[in-house]
Chain A
Amino acid sequence: MSIDTQTARKVAHLARIAVKDEDLPALARELSGILTFMEQLNEVDVAGIEPMTSVTPMRLKRRQDVVTEGGMAEKILSNAPDAREGFFAVPKVVE
């Protein structure tokens, strides 16, 4: 599977990473190279094999549905690039 510049542009946008137009052809080539490497997987007979979902067979633990921690808005906001009045601040998202 070869990736063209149009696909590279789409993938970059889905990943929310700005890529300059002039960098798209090189990116497309790199991604194609990696995908070609992955295509070896097509040689494997996977008929009837379930995709692995759990590394070690274990039941997911359940906990009581109760509040364990909270009331620490200041701590949560302490690393924000822009926090105002107890909230994270971002550019306007609704016109």
Chain B
Amino acid sequence: MSNLNELTIAGARDALRKGDTTAVALTEACLAAVADAGRLNAFVHHTPEIALSQAKAADQRIAAGNAPSMCGIPLGIKDLFCTKGVPSQAASRILAGFRPEYESTVTTQLFDAGAVMLGKLSMDEFAMGSSNETACYGPVVSPWRRAGDTAALTPGGSSGGSAAAVSADLCLGATGTDTGGSIRQPAAFTGIVGIKPTYGRVSRWGVVAFASSLDQAGPMTKTVRDAAIMLGAMAGHDPKDSTSADLAVPDFEAALTGDIRGKVIGIPREYRMEGMPAEIEALWNRGAEMLRDAGATIRDISLPHTKYALPAYYVVAPAEASSNLARYDGVRYGHRAKLAQGDGITEMYEKTRAEGFGKEVQRRIMIGTYVLSAGFYDAYYNRARKVRALIKRDFETVFAEGVDAILTPATPSAAFGLGEMADADPVAMYLNDVFTVTVNLAGLPGVAVPAGLDKQGLPLGLQLIGRPWEEGDLLNHAYVLERAAGFVSKPAKWW
């Protein structure tokens, strides 16, 4: 057997059930890999004691028989999830020292299924960013490098710690969250699988809120099968989240038949952006051929409002963020600024938030404040919500015309270097989300699948978009693509 930390979730599950290894051995292998990967800066809060105690309990449960698939599986948890007694600070200074008194629904479900938490993973501050450079812990470094070059690259964001950790085999899987592409873009940049489920499939309770109508948690894993297994453990109705759907969770793994004969795959012409790198376009064409070879029909489709998704998103998401982040006021948790003589409560709020929030978060709160302010609400916020309705209708139309899944590139480029975007306009960074953000606006499930390497040796991903609540069917398409692409590359260890 290869090193235990290099196993997939499915592989580890089968080995545990056969008694070929133990959850404690798996966990120790991952903890050693984490301890040896400080240079990646992916894990920012370490919980080895919790991990080993969960692993021991998992071994007992496995020995007793009938343990669920996630039992004994070592995971990393994005810092956005509240974990009881363990720092949960959304990579922000404003939540320094915050130790929740409660456990998020997602982590509760994972732990109930026997999963093991190795620690908390870095991310962009409050999930606002596409490069992990806005984290208060300093940037995560991708385990991937360009061929013949040692320049530090971004793992993407916001779930960059999750992506780096899974890709570098520090854990078997990780939780991520996706508001505009924050699972799928880092998954694509690091050659792993990431699925954003249908809005409402996974409970948002206990997940630090960014934009409540867009946020959705999902798994980041080494394979599509692992994503199916882990999503099954994360999903489900939660009375504590009024937007969580009261629908049964199907067996996603059982949906991976590998048979997509007769399915219709839409190729949206509006995603063929001007200036798209030839490698991305070629990969996209190859992906379509792979699905055609598997028996699917490829159909050109139109999603006419695609161009307006990004500007609509950058109205709606900051508006919701400005409201959600109003709670960080230096009163109930986290950081409070030192006050000068005579400072009142307004100064306390203003100084606390100026010190606690990073630049990008401040920028988005202020944009949100502006678009919601009297006089501009209709011009910006209401107009963006109307455009959002049109974007959703575009998808509904093609699904009603018989399209089963939509194939697009996952990102407009491969991973870029840390610091390369430092002097760029904020809007240039926002363009990373151009292929993913439509899915959040429409509430649909979307999955990024590694599909190839660019000429510099960096991973490139394709995205499949599915019908609402049809994650099983979507993952089956992803499974076919994964098998046909045969992506097996791993970053060479330098860290």
Contact = CB atoms under 8 A, between A and B. Distances in A.
A43 B390 CA distance: 13
Contacts of B386: 44, 46, 49-52
B295 interface: no
Interface residues of A, number: 51
Contacts of B373: 11, 14
A53 B436 CA distance: 21
A61 B242 contact: yes
Contact of A41 (B243, B312, B367, B425): B312
A19 B198 CA distance: 39
B333 A80 contact: yes
A31 B29 CA distance: 47
A17 B281 CA distance: 43
B492 interface: no
Q: Which of A16, A33, A40, A93 has the most CB of B within 10 A?
A: A16
Nearest to A93: B345
A59 B330 CA distance: 35
Contact of A37 (B242, B311, B443): B311
B457 interface: no
A80 B370 contact: no
B78 interface: no
Interface string A50-92: 1111011010110100000000100110111110000010111
Given A14-B373, A92-B344, A38 B363 contact: no
Contacts of A53: 385
Nearest to B213: A55
Interface of B: 97-101, 198-200, 213-214, 239, 242-243, 245-246, 305, 307-308, 310-312, 314-315, 322, 326, 329-336, 339, 343-351, 353-354, 357, 362-363, 365-371, 373, 380, 382-390, 392, 425-427, 430, 443, 468
Q: Which 3 A-B pairs have the closest CB atoms?
A: A51-B385, A55-B443, A81-B336
26 contacts: A7-B370, A11-B373, A16-B329, A17-B357, A18-B353, A27-B366, A31-B363, A31-B366, A31-B367, A31-B370, A33-B427, A38-B314, A40-B308, A44-B386, A44-B387, A46-B387, A46-B390, A51-B386, A51-B389, A52-B388, A55-B213, A60-B242, A79-B97, A79-B332, A80-B331, A81-B334
Interface of A: 3, 7-8, 11-19, 27, 30-31, 33-35, 37-44, 46, 49-53, 55-56, 58, 60-61, 63, 72, 75-76, 78-82, 88, 90-93
